Chain A
Amino acid sequence: MKLTLKIWRQKNAQDKGGIVEYPIDGIEPDMSFLEMLDVLNEELINKGEEPVAFDHDCREGICGMCSLFINGEAHGPDRGVTTCQLHMRMFKDGDTIFIEPFRAKAFPVIKDLVVDRSSFDRIQHAGGFISVNTSGNTIDANAIPVPKDDADKSFDAAACIGCGACVATCKNSSAMLFVSAKVSQYALLPQGKVEATDRVLNMVHQMDLEGFGNCTNTGACEVECPKGISLENIARMNREYLAASLKG
C-alpha cells in the first residue's frame, strides 16, 4: 500500500509544532499501525532525519502505553483496540492518514506524538488503593466470599489500561471514565468498601486539581475506550461521590 501520512511534529513541550507530510510505500495489510511507523522511522533515519517519537511498549494492547489520534479518533478507526492492535488492513491503498498526539490540558506534549499522562498516576496516589499492609499476614483469601457477579464487574472496571483515550476523545477532556473505573473496581469488592468514602472524595478532588474537564455525559469516552469500560462506572462513581459528600 501507498499512503500519505500527515504527522504532528513537535520538538519539545515549548515548541509550537505542526503537521508534516510524509509519503510512504510498501505497507502490508497485516502490519500493525506501529509497525507501519517503524518502517517510516527506518526510512527517516536512513535519510539522516529524526524519527517520529511515539509511545509504545507491549504492542499487544495491554500496557496502555501507545496512544495516537488517528484521523480524528483515539487509537484510530477500529473499535475496541489500542493503536498497537490496529492493523493496516483497516486502511486503503492511497489513503491519507492524520496522526496526532492525545490532546488535553492535563496531558502536555513531551515530543511529537508523546504526551505526559502522569496526571493519571497522581489521581491514583490520592486514593487508588486499599490501605492494607503488604506483609502477607492477612486473612485467608477465601475467608470473605465475593459473589462472582461482583468480582466479574470489579474485574471489568479494573481492566482499564490507563491509556487516556477517554480523555483525548472527550470534548471537555474529562477523566471521568478512567477515575470511575478505578473507584468502581474497589467499590464493588468487600475489601474496598471500608475506605470507599475517602477514596472517592480524594480521587475526584485530585482529578479536578489536574485540570481535567467536567463530564457532560456525551458518552464519547465509552465509544473510544479500547477496553469497553462502561458508562455505568461513571454512574456508580457519582452515586459513591454523592453518598460520600453527604456523609463527609
Chain B
Amino acid sequence: MALDSKIPNGPIADKWTNYKDHINLVNPANKRNLDIIVVGTGLAGGSAAATLAELGYNVKAFCFQDSPRRAHSIAAQGGINAAKNYKGDGDSVYRLFYDTVKGGDYRAREANVHRLAEVSANIIDQCVAQGVPLAREYGGLLDNRSFGGTLVSRTFYAQGQTGQQLLLGAYSAMNRQIGRGKIKMYNRHEMLDIVIVNGKARGIIARNLITGEIERHSAHAVVIGSGGYGNVFFLSTNAMGSNATAAWKIHKKGAFFANPCYTQIHPTCIPVSGDHQSKLTLMSESLRNDGRIWVPKKLEDAQAIREGKKKAIDLSEDERDYFLERRYPAFGNLVPRDVASRAAKERCDAGFGVNKTGEAVYLDFAAAIERYGKEAAHVKGLNENDKALVTKLGTDIVKSKYGNLFQMYLKIVDEDPYVTPMMIYPAVHYTMGGTWVDYNLMTTIPGCFSIGESNFSDHGANRLGASALMQGLADGYFVLPYTIGDYLAPDIKMGPISTDLPEFIEAEKAVVDQINKFINNNGKHSVDYFHKKLGKIMWNKVGMARNAKGLTEAIEEIAALREEFYKDVKVPGSANEFNQELEKATRVADFLELGELFAKDALHRNESCGGHFREEYQTEEGEALRDDDNFAYVAAWEYKGKPSDAVLHKEPLNYENIKLVQRSYK
C-alpha cells in the first residue's frame, strides 16, 4: 500500500486556509445522525470530544482513569507555545514553524507544522475564554517565558501546572457537553481493540474496568487520543497508566506505526535513586531559564562530592564547568532537550557525575536568586549589598515562579533546592513516534484518526519544549473538527451501526480469549517483573545512545522475553471484576511487541537525528550526524504478524520552505 500524505497543494502559508475552503461540510442536522468515538480525554481527546459535540456530533468518550480530568496531560508543567508575539521580540508564525522544524532535526512534515504554528494563537484565545487562569503581568496582560531551543519568549504558562490548567479547561468544555447529553462519558473503560467493517473503522471493544464486562461500541469514526508510549521503558516521567495499547491495537489492524524509535529523553529529571523506583519525576524545563547546569571541573572534586566529602557550595565559580554555556554559547542552558541530555550524559560518562551513582549534574539557582534579589532590593530602595535580604527577596521571586516544582523536589529528594543545587539527570519523557497519519490526521485505516501524542506528525526527531500541549489542543480544537467532517460527509445516510455485526463478535472474542489466557496462565512472575526487564533492555540498549550491536541484541532479547511472558506471567484474581494486574498485563503484552519494533526502527536508521542517537554516526565534536541523502523520510511500519516481520514504508520528507542544514546551537 502506498502512503499518501494528502498534503494540499499551494504555498505553505495558504495550504490550511485553502484546504478548509474546499472540504465537504456536514449539515448541522445531519451531524446529529453521526456517532464518533474518542478514545482518550487528555488535551487531544478532551478538546476533540468537546468540540465535536459542540458541532453536533454524538460523541462517546473513553478514558481508563476515574475522571477525564486525570489524563496524563494534567502533569505537564512548563507551558504551551503560541506565536502571539505579545513580547514584540520578533516571534511570528513563520518563526515558530521554523524553530519547530529545526528543533525536530528536519524529520517533521512541513505542512503539518506550519498549520500548527498558524492555529497556535487561537489556542490561547480559546483557553482564556474558557477561564483558564494563565499567568499574567501586573498590567493584566498575559505573561510569557522562554523554553529550550528558541530565542523568543513565546511560552504561556500557569506556574508549573500548565497542563493541569489547560486540561481542566478542556475538561470543563467536555462537562458542558456531558451536561447537555452530547458527550457520553465512559470513565474507567479501556479500549482493547478496534472494529473494522468493510475496511472502515466502525467501533471499539472496551473493558469496563470496574465490572470487567466487555462492551461493544459502534460509531461512524474512531479517534485515538491515547497519549504516548514512553512507559515501554518502565521508568519514565509518564503517569503509571500511560500505555500503548490503543495505538498498538490499531497498528495490528492496519494502522502504520511511524518512527517508533524517536523518543525524547528529557534533561531535567530527578535521577534514579534505587531499584524500587516506580517512575521518574520531571523538573520542568522552564527551570533552565533561571537554573545554570554544571559539574565540577576536576575529577577529584566530583569524586569528593560523590563520597560526601565535599558539597556543591564548596566549589568556587572557576572550579565549576558550566558545560552547556561552554559548548553552546548562543543558547547556553537553553539548548534543545536532545542536546542538553547528551551533554549531561557525556559529562557523567566521563566521571563528573555528582550523586552516588554518578548519574547526575547540578541545576543551580544561586545566581538567579542573587540577581532577582538585587533587583527587588533596588526597586524597593533597600540595601542591595545585604546578602541575607537579597537572598530572601530572590528566593521569594524564584518561589513565585517555580514554587510547586521546588516543593516536589524537596519531598522526593529530601534536600532544599533553594539552598543546595538540584541534582538532575535525563529520563525518558515523550515519544515523537506514533501512528502514522496523513494531513487529515487519519491513519492508514479509513475512519480511524489519531491525535496528540499518539500520532507522529509534528515534532520530527525531537520535540521542543511546550509544543506537545500546543499540538494536542490544535489537533483537538481546531484541526480534527474540520478533517473529520470531510471524511464523514458521505456517511450521513448510513444510520446507526449495529454492534451485532460479525466483525464486532469476532473482535470481542479475541479480546476475551486474551484475557482468559492471562487469568488461567498460572505462571511464576508478576506483570511488573516482565515490565521491569523490558525496561532495562530498552534503557541499556535502545536508550539515549544506541549502536547496531546493542540493538541487534535488544531485538532478540525482547522477543525471548515476550515468549517467557506468555509462558510465565501470573495474573491473580478473575476477569469479571476490578483487576489492576489484568489491566497491566494487557498493556505490557503490547509494550513487549512495540519494544521490538522500536529497536528494529532504530537499527535501520543509520544516522543520528534528534532523540535518536546512533553512536556510529556522530561528528568529531560528538554532535548528532544526520544523513539527509538517505534518511529524510518518515519510517512507517506495516504490521505483518510479528514485529520482526514488519514491513517498512517510506514517506519522503520534502522541505520546500526550510533549507536543511546542520543543526547548530553554538
Contact = CB atoms under 8 A, between A and B. Distances in A.
A85 B72 CA distance: 17
Q: Name which of A30, A49, A55 has the most chain B CB atoms within 10 A of its CB.
A: A30
25 contacts: A32-B278, A45-B526, A48-B570, A51-B572, A53-B578, A58-B70, A58-B72, A58-B75, A58-B240, A63-B239, A64-B69, A85-B408, A121-B69, A124-B172, A125-B179, A138-B128, A141-B129, A141-B134, A142-B142, A148-B138, A155-B158, A155-B165, A185-B131, A186-B131, A189-B131
A81 B140 contact: no
B173 A145 contact: no
B411 A81 contact: yes
A95 to B, nearest CB: 18
A63 B54 CA distance: 26
Contacts of B127: 141
Nearest to B119: A136
Nearest to A115: B66
Task: List the 3 closest A-B pairs by CB distance, nearest first.
Answer: A145-B140, A129-B172, A136-B122
Interface in A35-73: 35, 38-39, 41-42, 44-46, 48-51, 53, 55-65
Contact of B477 (A116, A134, A161): A134
Interface string A127-144: 111111111111111100
A11 B126 CA distance: 45
B108 to A, nearest CB: 23
Contact of A58 (B51, B139, B239, B578): B239
A131 B409 CA distance: 38
Contact of B75 (A63, A81, A142): A63
Contacts of A135: 51, 54, 126
Interface residues of A, number: 81
A192 interface: yes
B276 interface: yes
Interface of A: 11-12, 28, 30-32, 34-35, 38-39, 41-42, 44-46, 48-51, 53, 55-65, 78, 80-81, 85, 87, 89, 110-111, 114, 116-118, 120-121, 124-142, 145-148, 151-152, 154-155, 158-159, 161-162, 185-186, 189, 191-192
Contacts of A140: 125
Contact of A118 (B67, B173, B414): B67
B175 A34 contact: no
A145 B130 contact: no
Given A46-B525, A162-B67, A186-B131, 19 more contacts: A11-B577, A12-B577, A32-B412, A35-B277, A50-B573, A58-B240, A60-B279, A64-B74, A117-B67, A128-B175, A129-B173, A130-B129, A138-B126, A141-B84, A141-B142, A142-B141, A148-B138, A158-B133, A192-B131
B276 A138 contact: no
Contacts of B119: 136
A89 B414 contact: yes
B123 A136 contact: yes
B580 A116 contact: no
Contact of B187 (A118, A132, A152): A118
B47 A55 contact: no
Chain A residues touching B, majority SS: loop
A62 B164 contact: yes
Contacts of A81: 411
A121 B124 CA distance: 25
B226 interface: no
Contacts of B51: 134-135
A61 B408 contact: yes
A80 B70 contact: no
A30 B122 contact: no
For chain B, which range describes its interface: under 10, 10 to 19, 20 to 34, or 35 or more residues?
Answer: 35 or more
Contacts of A130: 129-131, 172
Contacts of A159: 161, 164
Contacts of B590: none
Contacts of B468: none
A108 B232 CA distance: 34
Contact of A30 (B84, B125, B414): B414
Contacts of A32: 278, 412
Contacts of A139: 125, 129
A244 B465 CA distance: 43
A185 B134 CA distance: 12
Contacts of A55: 66
A89 B158 CA distance: 31
Given A59-B240, A155-B159, A141 B128 contact: yes
B210 interface: yes
B281 interface: yes
A48 B572 contact: yes
Contacts of A155: 133, 135, 158-159, 165
Contact of A57 (B138, B187, B239, B412): B239
Contacts of B178: 121, 125
Interface in B104-138: 119, 122-131, 133-138
A110 to B, nearest CB: 6
A118 B66 contact: yes
A121 B175 contact: yes
A157 to B, nearest CB: 8
B333 to A, nearest CB: 23
Nearest to B526: A45
A218 to B, nearest CB: 26
A158 B125 contact: no
A41 B138 CA distance: 51
B175 A129 contact: yes
Contacts of B70: 57-58, 63-65, 162
Interface in B562-598: 570, 572-573, 577-578, 580-581
Contacts of B130: 129-130, 132, 134, 191
B274 interface: yes
B140 A60 contact: no
Nearest to A186: B131
B135 A134 contact: no
Most buried by B among A38, A124, A185: A124
B552 interface: no
Contact of A87 (B122, B274, B414): B414
Given A55-B66, A60-B408, A85-B412, A134 B126 contact: yes
B478 interface: yes
Considering residues B172, B408, B529, B570, which has the most beta carbons from chain A within 10 angstroms of its beta carbon?
Answer: B172
Contact of A59 (B69, B239, B274, B581): B239
